[in-house]
Structure 1
Amino acid sequence: MDPLEDVLALLGLRSHLSAGLRAGGRWAVRFRAPTGVKFNAVRRGTCLLQVEGADPVTLRAGDCYLLTKPLPFVLRSEPAAVPVDGEDAVPVDAEAVYATTERGLARTGDGDGDEVLLIGGSFALSERSPALLLNELPPVIHVPADSSHAETLQWALAQISEELLNGQMGSSLVAEQLATVMFVHILRLHLARDTSSAAGLLTGLRDPVVATALACLHERPERPWTVADLARSCVVSRSTLAARFKELVGQSPIDYLGRWRVELAGRRLRQDDGTIAAVARAVGYGSESAFSTAFKRATGVAPRDYRSRYRAAAGPVG
């Protein structure tokens, strides 16, 4: 069982591609804080990325990046360029760059050329994404074009550009699926090269022993695991597993299992009409009361109330 795949499936990862951007001359575009994970890729030219609170990043042709936190940002041709607003969903003033587009592309800059071409979009995840995945990622993940093992990522970017710019039948659907592939590859590259992330799932997956333990927990979350059971599966001592898991994931294996069970239970409560007792048994609790106590401790709300609030917020079906 792949723990990262499990988490992404539970979070309901969905991609949305926005209009591309062609820019020439001197230019700068300001964006509001994204509500999900934002990405952009430079297909031609160079520009600067400035995320609030972070150091500027120089972007070159073939580079891409993810923005994982709700922080406003600016793309610009040079440090002195004064930005205009550029919301692609709701223009914020008369100068909004994305207020009008042509063939899926907005245009900006004081020059007639299109020295810079960017494509981009966003990834929407559930409200649990910060706790499960995003909190351990840096605000900006920059992937230069010449990164090692980035060939598949470059292939996906080239295909997305082809689909968006040529506008063939079904191009949006194809491009959005490719963007999801790109997201996973960026996470893989981040895992391979960055050893300074905060403790969490991704950090744990770097370590072969902890990764094996995580795979066991995700494959059989309903099993009454003990640290000794997991240690035998990982072929290490109980103390070694406990220490490494705590250091890299930030909690004990049994605490992680409890949190993961709650996440799985939350999905069941949202998606089906099974009884609370049935949900409790499905995720590994021997009694409804034990499950309800654990669920409320983790989420702040009882399972029955959680289901009612979710369905009230979702509205009637049909």
Structure 2
Amino acid sequence: MDPLQDVLSLIGATSHLSAGMSAGGAFAVRFEPPAGVKFNVVRRGDCWLRVDGVPDPLRLLAGDCFLLTRPVAFTLASDPSLPTEPAGPLFTAATDGVAHAGDGDEVFLIGGAFTFTDRAQALLLDDLPPVIRVAAGTPEAATVRQAVDEIDAELRQDAAGARLVAEHLAVVMLVRILRLYLTRDAGHARGWLAGLNDPTVAAVLRRMHARPAHPWTVAELARSAAVSRSTLAARFKQVVGQGPLEYLTAWRIELAADRIRRGDGTVATIARDVGYGSESAFSVAFKRAVGLSPRAYRAAAARPG
């Protein structure tokens, strides 16, 4: 099993495009924290990106892309020291799908956002840095630009299956950005994503994902990875930030939460299928992780809005 594929299948990534932004001269536009994971592509020109909580602004050149993984405010500017104006009125006044800032049109950006299921933050986003910049010359940037073009075309045409195609393209875009992050920032990455780049940890992750209900022990997992129990425990903790059995428990909860949201089976059936010997033990573990009992979580997921 591919742990990244498993996780992406649970987070329910969808996407939408916002209006483009044309800018020139002196401009500094401040955006409120996005509801989802924000992405943008610089079509032409260059500008600065300043993200709240990130010490240094990032220079964006034509062809660059960026992904914001946190709901934090950010600014796009010709000069990061300029006073800002709010993005809201500019985008409300957008014409032909383009908002205008400053005086001129030397700079043009297009972007949008991913939205995920309610468990995605802990499952995927907490392991990512607040902003990931994808440089223009990388294959990943080319993929993002192409995906944005195709998403835009699909949603504008409103043809049969357009929404489904757009959602698949969004996942392709996200996978390519995550691959770049894992390759480029392997030394700084932490969490299960970082574990995908560690041969020992990755082997254990694949085994747990292939058989999540199996009563794994650290000793058995260590044997499967051809390392000692102490080596596995230390390495897994160092890379992922938690022990292998802690990770397994968290993954079982995610699998169960997905099935509960979808109404797939009784709580007792789900408990058994993810490796719990009793419904009561599962309910205690689920409430500890999610904050709601399985039945309360199902009721909350069923409520509209």
**TM-score under structure 2 normalisation?**
0.90
**1:153 and 2:141 are equivalent in the alignment:** yes
1:108 to 101, 106, 113: 101
Counterparts of residues 197-236 of structure 1 (less than 5 Å): 197=188, 199-236=190-227
How much does 1:16 deviate? 1.2
How much does 1:202 deviate? 0.9
How much does 1:195 deviate? 3.4
Aligned residues: 301
Q: Distance in 2 between matches of 1:283 and 1:298?
A: 15
User: What's the CA shift string for 1:219-259, capped at 9, x where partnerless?
Assistant: 11111111222222222222221111111111111111111
Q: Distance in 1 between matches of 2:139 and 2:48?
A: 23
Instruction: Identify the residue that residue 73 of structure 1 maps to in structure 2.
Output: 74
User: What's the CA shift string for 1:72-110, capped at 9, x where partnerless?
Assistant: 1110112343322213xxxxxxxx111133332222212
**TM-score under structure 1 normalisation?**
0.87
Three-state SS of the structure 2 residue aligned to 1:160 is helix
Counterparts of residues 1-318 of structure 1 (less than 5 Å): 1-54=1-54, 55-87=56-88, 96-111=89-104, 114-146=105-137, 150-158=138-146, 160-161=148-149, 164=152, 169-170=157-158, 173=163, 177-197=168-188, 199-272=190-263, 274-311=265-302, 313-314=303-304
Q: Is the 8 A contact 2:65 2:133 kept in 1?
A: yes
CA 1:99 to 1:307, structure 2 compared with 1: closer, same or farther past 3 Å?
same
Letter in 2 for 1:41: V
Q: What is the RMSD of the two structures over their aligned residues, measured on CA atoms?
A: 2.2
CA 1:258 to 1:159, structure 2 compared with 1: closer, same or farther past 3 Å?
closer
How much does 1:141 deviate? 0.9
Residues 165-174 or 299-308, more deviating:
165-174
Instruction: Identify the residue that residue 93 of structure 1 maps to in structure 2.
Output: none
Fraction of identical pairs, as percent: 55
Q: Distance in 1 between matches of 2:180 and 2:115?
A: 20
Three-state SS of the structure 2 residue aligned to 1:314 is coil
User: What's the CA shift string for 1:118-159, capped at 9, x where partnerless?
Assistant: 11111111222221121221111112113xxx2243144045
Three-state SS of the structure 1 residue aligned to 2:75 is strand
Q: Is the 8 A contact 2:143 2:176 kept in 1?
A: no
Q: Is the 8 A contact 1:156 1:178 kept in 2?
A: no
User: What's the CA shift string for 1:155-196, capped at 9, x where partnerless?
Assistant: 440453476489863487455543332221111101111135
Q: Is the 8 A contact 1:104 1:164 kept in 2?
A: no
Unaligned runs of 5+ in 2: none
